[in-house]
Amino acid sequence: MRIAVPNKGRLHEPTIDLLERAGLHLENGADRQLYADTVDPDVSVLFARAADIPEYVADGAADMGITGYDQVREAQVTDVAELLDLEFGRCRLVLAAPEDGSITSVADLAGGTVATEFPNVTREFFAERGLEPNVVEVTGATELTPHVEISDAIVDITSTGTTLKMNRLGIIEEVLSSSVRLFAREDVREEPKIQEVRTALASVKQAEGKRYLMMNVPEDRLDDVRDVIPGLGGPTVMDIANGGGEKVAVHAVVDERAVFETITDVKQAGASDILVTEIERLVE
């Protein structure tokens, strides 16, 4: 089973890091290689341009892909299915025009020209609004096109809006909200290995921002401690070996932001020997 991942750019390192944390260590992933094996002999990685990954999956060159939702929408592939939002690489595709220009609404672009690296998404956006401007495809420096009279407006990716502001462009409307997704070809999406990879990646995402609390609690204070633990479900309670039956071990998963207050609360409720650890993976 082959996973296509971005070979460079802002999505490459976070994707490789996610695979590593999920247990899919790359065995021979040297720079400029096209393929890499993983510790799982049934899983390999294909390095490709982020924009090409949806087509690679649809055509069968890979079974799964990790790339931006914007790239999947632009590729207009119909036989791939989203399996998981990986929640990084967040950005917006926006319609923008010169701040001091006459374009202030979507309707103003009727008969106008829009430059973009995402012509399919752009045409779809305007078609939904009953408009059909001239869409010019460019391959870079999209934000410069209104200032050199190539376009009246642009549809481009932004994360913070800084580049748009530097080029005196104002956002008119959001076209698409995007993040990195895991997807697979429809005909293999239910295969056991596909689901195994999905579960591994999901377990990493579910563990983010969580901490594992362990403590000893007198049995007669157990209810008090339970009441102040904001964990996932109820805490796990276990007997302590050679504990004499007076104390039990309590384990719980809590939100990282709640750890400081929770430690104070459980200590006041009677807990001792409190230990906090990070969680690498959490399978729900």
Q: Locate tokens 């200032």: which residue?
A: 147
Mean pLDDT, the chain, rounded, equals 93
Across 150-154, 189-193, 220-224, 242-246, least confident range? 242-246
Residue 243 has pLDDT above 70, yes or no: no
pLDDT confidence of residue 30: 56
Torsion of CA 45, 50, 55, 61, to 10 degrees: -20
Q: Which two tokens stand for residue 211?
A: 């901490």
Q: What's the whole-number mean pLDDT along residues 244-251? A: 85
Domains of the chain: 2-89+179-206 (3.40.190.10), 91-178 (3.40.190.10), 209-278 (3.30.70.120)
pLDDT confidence of residue 232: 62
Angle 127-129-133 from CA coordinates, rounded to 5°: 55
> Percent of the chain having pLDDT more than 70?
96
DSSP letter assigned to residue 25: -
pLDDT digits (tens, 9 = 90+) for 208-237: 999 999 999 999 999 999 999 986 677 889
Cα–Cα distance, 53 to 21 (Å, whole number): 22
Q: What is the pTM of this model?
A: 0.88
Concatenating the DSSP letter of every residue in 56-81 gives: HHHHTS-SEEEEEHHHHHHHT-SSEE
pLDDT digits (tens, 9 = 90+) for 20-60: 999 999 987 656 688 899 999 999 999 999 999 999 999 99
Contacts 24+ apart (CB under 8 A), 39-45: 42/1, 42/193, 43/1, 43/2, 43/3, 43/193, 43/197, 44/1, 44/2, 44/3, 45/2, 45/3, 45/4, 45/5, 45/19
Q: How many CB atoms lie within 10 A of CB 153?
A: 26
pLDDT confidence of residue 246: 85
Residue 248 bridge partners (DSSP):
217, 239
Residue 71 has pLDDT above 70, yes or no: yes
pLDDT digits (tens, 9 = 90+) for 80-100: 999 999 999 999 999 999 999
Of 58, 93, 281, 67, the residue nearest 188 (C-alpha):
58
Cα–Cα distance, 12 to 237 (Å, whole number): 42
> Percent of the chain having pLDDT more than 90?
85
